[in-house]
Chains A and B, each alone.
Chain A
Amino acid sequence: MAAIYNLFIINKSGGLIFYKDYGSAGRMDTNDSLRLASLWHSMHAISQQLSPTIGCFGIELLQADNFDLHCFQSLTGTKFFVVCEPGAQHMEGLLKVIYELYTDFVLKNPFYEMEMPIRCELFDIHLSQAIQKDRVVLLGR
């Protein structure tokens, strides 16, 4: 049983720079994932405008009938979001771990161009390890 279905990373202007599927039903093509990413970017921005009080930083958690979506925005505006099973715990922690991996293996990679799609082998390896670890933790409970 997969706890996490998808992972998206979008840059500060709403472009999808990383997408990974961990076993969701039905295929989503590249165009759809790009569209979803930019849609999320704009809804994140709109949610800040609708806030009843000042200091809103956008949606952190979206709860739907069949999934939960956790979103983490870094200080530079890069957004990380995971689609997971309803009620999955410790997703904030996982997002922080992913962010750390991003800073270590993507941003510190001299060949990586900012705001461009992520193609870093080390990032992929460590990411799948992190997700795997998370799954082991979930199965162990």
Chain B
Amino acid sequence: MQFFGGSAAAEMTPSPAAPPGTATGLAGNNANMLYIFNRNGVCLLYREWHRPLHTLDAQQDQKLMFGLLFSLRSFTAKVDPTSVDKGNLGVPLLPGQGCSFYSFRTNTYKLSFMESPSGIKLILVTHPKTGDLRDALRYMYNLYVEYVVKNPLYVPGSPIKCELFNVNLDQYVKTLI
């Protein structure tokens, strides 16, 4: 029951309401894929909407993604030019500890990242020209709380197999610009 009682979730919009910052007319295939990891690095969910290129098999891909996030987190905490005490490079960081990144962009995709206080990591990969998706990720986290955490049949830490969550997620992702 480690995911219950997250204060951050309670402060945000209590139940899925109108998604923030979304378009209704220009619904496109903007999102490529979504990963959800828990704090132990277990991939709870991998969803793919548009991915022509697969370089690795699914498990290796998820491992590589988690590894990249882990290293980027310690990298940003160490680089952070505004803090005096930066700690050591490579030491695992607690959620919310040190300076974190929220997105990076390459010429072919943009990756947006969010970490909840309980260590749930949401990673959304979209078209490189997409704007700031921090609110969208927070909304997706709310969907996760509503449809996964509050599902009595869901065992925390196991892969997500909640129909309602997937349906709502797909619906929301279609509206992203």
Give A contacts to B, CB under 8 Å. Answer: 5-6, 24-26, 28, 32, 35-36, 39-40, 42-43, 46-67, 69, 83
Q: Is the CB of A83 within 8 A of B52?
A: no
User: Interface digits, B50-63 against A, CB 8 Å rule (1 contact, 0 not)?
Assistant: 11110110000100
Which of these, A58, A62, A67, contacts B82 with CB under 8 Å? A67
Q: Supply 18 further A-B pairs (C-beta < 8 A) apart from A6-B81, A50-B64, A60-B107.
A: A5-B81, A32-B78, A32-B89, A35-B89, A39-B74, A39-B75, A49-B64, A52-B32, A56-B106, A56-B109, A59-B106, A60-B105, A62-B103, A62-B104, A63-B103, A65-B101, A66-B81, A66-B83
- For the complex, count residues of B whose C-beta is within 8 A of A: 41
Q: Which residues of chain B have C-beta atoms less than 8 A from A28's C-beta?
A: 78, 86
Q: Are A50 and B65 in contact (CB under 8 A)?
A: yes
Contact A26 B84 (CB under 8 A): yes
- With both beta carbons as reference points, the residue of chain A lying nearest to B48 in the complex is identified as A52
Q: A36-B78, A46-B64 are in contact. Are A66 and B106 (CB under 8 A)?
A: no
The answer to whether A67 and B108 touch across the interface, beta carbons within 8 angstroms, is no
CB distance from A119 to the nearest CB of B (A): 24
Q: Is the CB of A36 within 8 A of B89?
A: yes
What is the CA–CA distance of A55 and B50 in the complex, to the nearest angstrom? 16
Residues of A within 8 A of B85 (CB): 26
Q: Is B82 a contact of A66 with CB atoms below 8 Å?
A: yes
Q: Could you say which residues of chain B place their CB within 8 Å of the CB of A69?
A: 79
Query: Known contacts A36-B89, A39-B75, A65-B100; is A52 also within 8 Å of B109 by CB?
Result: yes
21 A-B pairs within 8 Å (CB atoms) are namely A6-B79, A6-B81, A24-B81, A25-B84, A26-B85, A28-B78, A36-B75, A46-B64, A52-B32, A54-B52, A55-B108, A56-B107, A57-B106, A57-B107, A62-B72, A62-B104, A63-B104, A64-B102, A65-B99, A67-B99, A83-B79
